Amino acid sequence: MKGDYQDLVDEISALLGAPATLENRDFRLIAFGAHDSDDDLAMDPVRTRSILTRQSTAAVRSWFEGFGIARATGPVRIPAAPDAGVFRGRICLPVRYRGIVQGYVWLLDQEPGPDAEALDAAMEVAQRIGLLLAEEARAGADLSREFLAVLTAGRGWQQDMAVAALRVALGPSGEGPHAAVCVSPWSGEAPASVPGAAAVCVVPWRGAREQEPHPGGGGPAGQSLAVLIRLRGADPLAPALTAISRLMPRTAGGAGSGAGNGTGAAGAGPGTPKPVTATRSAATGGKTTAPAAAAGVTAGVASGVTAGVSDPVRALAALPAAWQQATAAARAAAAAGPRLGPVAQWSAIGPYRMLASVAEEALDDPAARALRGPANPELARTAEVFLDCAGQAGRAAAALGIHRQTLYYRLSRVEQLTGLDLDEGEDRLLLHMALKAARLHG
């Protein structure tokens, strides 16, 4: 449906002779028209930042809403405000369906400005956009129950029935490849829709973990958000990041996100998420790498929220396995911290793939139990860094910022407490797995 929105935005741009931008009612960017003007004022700091970062502050959003755009049924002219970085005025076309605002189309105002006939034609296009947005929101909400059933039905005939129901609900789009995304922890209900997503639902955690704090520090949370992403190609990361970028601002405290309208004023407040940026590396043949691509999503770090992305699947019956991958990747992102970033792809989480498959709960090996207690966090970290460095004392000491003799002393204490011999490969493997599993399971 993204292509439909882009076509309609381009149609409005052509009608009014100015680049148009479409946002949903939460000020999240959906599509924007091409800009080919040589006028520096046409791309003022607000519009530039809005398109690049897909976000705005709550204060700026309130300022635009103060002109009555949420209640308007026709075009609204908003004057320039140079002090706020708005060097050009705006025209807002409210996008409505059956009287309910679904979003906004924004254009830079200009002299002499579009005539009434052109504005009327543009409003007709905006109504078509409103219908699409309403249908997308309704479809996402309607599929929540079917999607949740597939993820939680277990095996056997119940899962077969759940998959069949989801296939019917998805229609033709159910035949294409999909990926699962887990955003965890998640408070509240699922959003009505997420651009680019086929379905969303909230999935409760199982067992005792429901009452435990999330490893990322987000406080008690007993549920995750599941997002079903439609894929047009083989790589699930780019569309997943697009969806996550719309969700992360909400988890970080609700400062309104995405603002192709030009509402993204200079000076975003503390905790405001940065844009999702995908980078391509020559070393990977131009393929987008998960840690690099997710590095721009910082809101999850600040709020204790992490996200995981599964490998692509073609069969809807494979969605429960994809969901397990996504949840494991989200937990790995929380456990590994900056190394993986707040968004991790299953294919990029390394040893956590195996650890997630081995046990649903932490591996409680007696040899490593002493290190995982509150009395020895320094020794546990020393052992983990030493093993991460493949047993190279010089690298480990440098990474820890300690003298090599201090490292040797700590490692001898580790051996005393665990009864393991760190010169033995199997003992190293056991301790490394136990420490990584402890991270994974919080």
Query: So what's the architecture of 366-440 in CATH?
Result: Orthogonal Bundle (1.10)
β-partners of residue 141 are none
Does pTM top 0.75 for this prediction? Answer: no
Report the C-alpha gap between 161 and 155 in whole angstroms: 10
Residue with tokens 């007993």: 222
**pLDDT value for 310:** 94
**pLDDT value for 3:** 54
Q: Are 100 and 128 in contact (CB under 8 A)?
A: no
User: Beta strands of 177-240 (E only): which ranges?
Assistant: 178-184, 197-204, 223-230
- Among the listed residues 170, 173, 169, 194, the one whose alpha carbon sits nearest the alpha carbon of residue 183: 194
**pLDDT value for 263:** 36
**pLDDT value for 155:** 81
**pLDDT value for 24:** 82
Report the C-alpha gap between 96 and 254 in whole angstroms: 23
Neighbouring C-beta atoms of residue 163, cutoff 10 Å: 21
The CA–CA distances, whole Å, from 326 to 150, 227, 289, 310, 419 equal 15, 10, 16, 5, 36
**pLDDT value for 249:** 47
Is 429 in a helix, a strand, or coil?
helix
Sign of CA dihedral 178, 32, 301, 223: negative
The CA–CA distances, whole Å, from 156 to 162, 201, 316, 318 equal 10, 22, 14, 13
Rounded to the nearest 10 degrees, how much is the dihedral formed by the CA atoms of 78, 79, 81, 84?
A: 10
Determine the angle formed by the axes of helices 404-418 and 393-400, rounding to 10 degrees.
100
Residue 103 has phi, psi (to 5 degrees) of: 175, -165
Rounded to the nearest 10 degrees, how much is the dihedral formed by the CA atoms of 186, 191, 194, 197?
A: 80
Q: Which of 410-432 are b and which e, b meaning 16 or more Cβ less than 10 Å from the residue's Cβ?
A: bbebbbebbebebeeeebbebbb
Residue 240 has phi, psi (to 5 degrees) of: -65, -40
β-partners of residue 179 are 229
Query: So what's the architecture of 2-135 in CATH?
Result: 2-Layer Sandwich (3.30)
Report the C-alpha gap between 50 and 28 in whole angstroms: 10
Averaged pLDDT, groups of 10, the chain, 442 residues long:
77 90 82 61 51 57 84 90 72 90 87 86 94 74 83 86 86 80 86 78 66 39 86 80 69 37 32 32 37 44 77 91 91 80 87 71 65 77 87 91 91 88 86 77 60
Q: In a 10 Å sphere around its CB, with 0-12 CB exposed, 13-18 middle and 19+ buried, how is residue 285 labelled?
A: exposed
**Domain residue limits, the chain:** 2-135, 141-256+263-358, 366-440
Contacts of 185 (CB under 8 A, 6+ apart): 214, 216, 218, 219, 221, 222, 223, 224, 304, 305
Structure tokens that stand for 61 in this block: 């959003």
